Structure 1
Amino acid sequence: MDRRSFLKNSAIGGTAAAASATLAAPAYAAGHARTLTMVTSWGRGLAGVFDAAQRVADSINAMSDGSLTVEIKAAGELVGAFEVFDAVTSGQADMYHAADYYFINQHPAYAFFTSVPFGMTAQELMNWYNHGEGAALHDELGEIFGLKSFLAGNTGAQAGGWFAKEIAGPEDFNGLKFRMPGLGGQVLGTMGASVQNLPGAEVYQALASGAIDGTEWIGPWADEKAGFQEITKFYYTAGMHEPGAGLSLATNRDVFDSLTPSQQKIIEIASGEAHSWSLAQFLNNNGSALQRLQSGGVKVLEFPDSVWDAMAAGAKTVSDQYMGDDIYAKVKASYDSSMAASSSWLTQSEGTYRAQRDRTTG
């Protein structure tokens, strides 16, 4: 049976957990300094996302007091942006920092640990991950592939993207060459778009050359740094695809198990700290960046309701095709339940407050 067939017919934590239970307990190399190679999906210096990877590495290096040294390899320096998963599972590298929805071909449930269409906001994701079943499910999914995973960054709500022309209705996506990874890209595919999945460092050139007609990236600050406003002036600031995109740190499980308990805890704490630090970095910078973009002639737009409706229909179609997979269905059930509970309270408390604040203070 190949791995895909195994995944299709197994429940999380079943065969993989039983197999791992037969392994010998790790031998800790007490007092022995180790260097861990981190490969990333990000070009060196790519605003926000590379910063999050650097933050994790710096924190591990500082907190371990010399017992661990993380060396970062940006996309292309050791392996390509989308090859980091295989590099770590094979032992070519020790850990990766990436967006796990890049790896839905390994398993579609990985999308939930970045973002899914019409899914969780950043706060809702943190609720599920830290106080619901999210972290445990991420860990169990990673165990199948020999990984120990943590959330280690968040971009907040991402923009709908940059377009060569205004979008009047869902028909404008038909034949559109658009860069969007993950399940969101598959949603646009149901609307007739020709979806491209390009590493972040390659997007500017593809847009400038006309290889793509439009792209999503992250949000005003990172998009401004990438320079997309130099190419097109039509910018949609809200999208369905990533309302609170998580970034992940995954360590080869054999490597992780060989570390001391204190070193393991350092990696966990460094990842969690980077998650909140990264989210604040994006949210702190997006407002002023959007003002600069508008001052430079960028036209800020919202999709019409007809587009949102078509996207919602496409999101259901895409998700339904994976529901026969036990793992995907289990993760989705947990995710949806937590999202409904969090959203109910946030809407009635913070949502009401913000609407009234905006109304009364202008």
Structure 2
Amino acid sequence: MQRRSFLKKAGLGAVAGTAAVAAPALAQSNPKISWKMTSSYGPSLPPLYSTAELFCKMVSEATDGNFSIRLYPAGEIVPGFGVMDAVGNRTVECGQTASYYFYGKDPAFCFDTAVPFGLNARQMYAWVYEAGGMALLRELFAPRNIVNFPLGNTGTQMGGWYRKEIKSVSDLQGLKMRTAGFAGEVMSRMGVVPQQIPPGDIYPSLEKGTLDAVEFVGPVDDEKLGFQKVAKYYYYPGWWEGSAQVSLYVNDGAYKELPKTYQAVIEMASRAAGGKLLGDYDANNPAALRRLIAGGAVLKAFPRDVMDAAFKASDEAYKEFCAKSEHFKKIHDHYMAFRDSVVPWFRVGEGSYDNYLGIALANQKK
């Protein structure tokens, strides 16, 4: 029911004075507010950018247009990697990004997106909302004047595109690879030379040979960006991103100025829009992968020795960072304890089911 219609009908059975008081009270509780929102992404990445568009639309519709947020793609107000600073200093009131882009500011930010051999999408959702993860992340972001909200997840990502086959760990030596966050730290210990490059600059760098390999998300986005045209070997799994949570950053001061109803709208809209992101990837990655393979991409699994070396290097890196930073250790220990507690159940329930069904369907087609 529209608010105006409701007020009009409510006024029919009330004295004129009551109706006169109701309208100003409603106006006071639903003030006209306009925000700006910047993103690390743009229209060339539809699942990610459309999630931010949907969030803005939901906020507007839930408030009858009284709370409007104008979205700007990467580069229009600030560069893609400028979201954290822009929100923190209130150049904009809010932004969409992935927190592991800010590994250089503090490696602990990676726990808000993804860390090597970390949680899958469902586990991440459970850790944040049901197991205490949100409180730890809010504590981490507070000094940056940011209130963080999950804004969806990509699910497990792919291991990237390579110009040459990766047959063993030795093939990684000297490899110039675009990757983000904690993955770069781990890969450097395996001989890779990591490069952190904004999404819009990845393809030109790969095409020119500035990069030997690149990882981004998965089939939907990778196909859109055209990586298969310049690097044919497509590896899995993306062990550094068992899932990747995208985040909404809100300036703390701007957030506190909002009525409680608008704060609640942000909470609900970010969850709802975020749910669409994972559904989008799950629905469209299978067909995109088939098209990539039909177009010449060579699908490969990382060799076991590469996976084992990555797991060992990740464990060593975690220990070093825990020794250096108390707040990194606090989040790490909580996050990994949760991971270790849920993986056995997922292996029994989800893993056994998925493995059997995959084998049964393959045999059925023989």
TM-score relative to the length of structure 2: 0.89
1:350 alignment partner in structure 2? 350
State yes or no: 1:335 paired with 2:335.
yes
1:20 alignment partner in structure 2? none
> How is 1:1-362 mapped onto 2 (pairs within 5 angstroms)?
30-324=29-323, 325-362=325-362
State the 1:297 CA deviation: 1.1
Aligned residue type for 1:309: D
CA root-mean-square deviation: 1.4
**Superimposed CA distance per residue, residues 210-266 of structure 1 (whole angstroms, 9 cap, x where no aligned partner):** 111110010011100111111121111312111110000010000000001110011
Contact 2:39 2:95 (8 Å CA) reproduced: yes
State the 1:47 CA deviation: 2.9
Contact 1:115 1:243 (8 Å CA) reproduced: yes
Q: Secondary structure at the match of 1:79?
A: coil
Measured in 2, the distance between the counterparts of 1:237 and 1:282 equals: 16
**Superimposed CA distance per residue, residues 173-220 of structure 1 (whole angstroms, 9 cap, x where no aligned partner):** 111110001001111111121110001111011111111111001001
Measured in 1, the distance between the counterparts of 2:197 and 2:179 equals: 8
Measured in 2, the distance between the counterparts of 1:155 and 1:305 equals: 25
Of the structure 1 ranges 146-155 and 50-59, higher mean CA displacement relative to structure 2 is found in 50-59
State the 1:323 CA deviation: 0.3
2:23 alignment partner in structure 1? none
Measured in 2, the distance between the counterparts of 1:232 and 1:145 equals: 38
Aligned residue type for 2:133: G
- Bigger radius of gyration: 2
Contact 1:219 1:237 (8 Å CA) reproduced: no
**Superimposed CA distance per residue, residues 312-335 of structure 1 (whole angstroms, 9 cap, x where no aligned partner):** 122122222210311111111111
Structure number with the higher helix fraction is: 2
Measured in 2, the distance between the counterparts of 1:64 and 1:170 equals: 54
Q: Secondary structure at the match of 1:323?
A: helix
Measured in 2, the distance between the counterparts of 1:127 and 1:314 equals: 27
Measured in 2, the distance between the counterparts of 1:47 and 1:318 equals: 34
Measured in 1, the distance between the counterparts of 2:42 and 2:276 equals: 20
**Superimposed CA distance per residue, residues 32-72 of structure 1 (whole angstroms, 9 cap, x where no aligned partner):** 21111111111333232212222222211221221211111
Of the structure 1 ranges 313-322 and 141-150, higher mean CA displacement relative to structure 2 is found in 313-322
Contact 2:44 2:224 (8 Å CA) reproduced: no
Aligned residue type for 2:208: S
Greater relative contact order (CA < 8 Å, ≥ 6 in sequence) = 1
Of the structure 1 ranges 112-121 and 44-53, higher mean CA displacement relative to structure 2 is found in 44-53
Contact 1:116 1:242 (8 Å CA) reproduced: yes
Aligned residue type for 1:258: E
Aligned residue type for 2:327: I
State the 1:361 CA deviation: 3.7
**Superimposed CA distance per residue, residues 259-303 of structure 1 (whole angstroms, 9 cap, x where no aligned partner):** 011100111111111222101101111101111111111100011
Q: Secondary structure at the match of 2:322?
A: coil
Distance 1:309 1:176, change over 3 A: same
Measured in 1, the distance between the counterparts of 2:65 and 2:52 equals: 19
Measured in 1, the distance between the counterparts of 2:312 and 2:338 equals: 22
Contact 1:29 1:259 (8 Å CA) reproduced: no
Distance 1:31 1:130, change over 3 A: closer
TM-score relative to the length of structure 1: 0.90
Aligned length: 335
Contact 1:91 1:252 (8 Å CA) reproduced: yes
Contact 1:43 1:200 (8 Å CA) reproduced: no
Q: Mind listing any 5+ residue stretches in structure 1 that lack a counterpart?
A: 1-27
Distance 1:75 1:29, change over 3 A: farther
State the 1:108 CA deviation: 1.6
Measured in 2, the distance between the counterparts of 1:33 and 1:213 equals: 50
Measured in 1, the distance between the counterparts of 2:265 and 2:276 equals: 16
State the 1:339 CA deviation: 1.3
Measured in 2, the distance between the counterparts of 1:48 and 1:196 equals: 24
Measured in 2, the distance between the counterparts of 1:178 and 1:212 equals: 6
Of the structure 1 ranges 37-46 and 288-297, higher mean CA displacement relative to structure 2 is found in 37-46
State the 1:29 CA deviation: 6.5
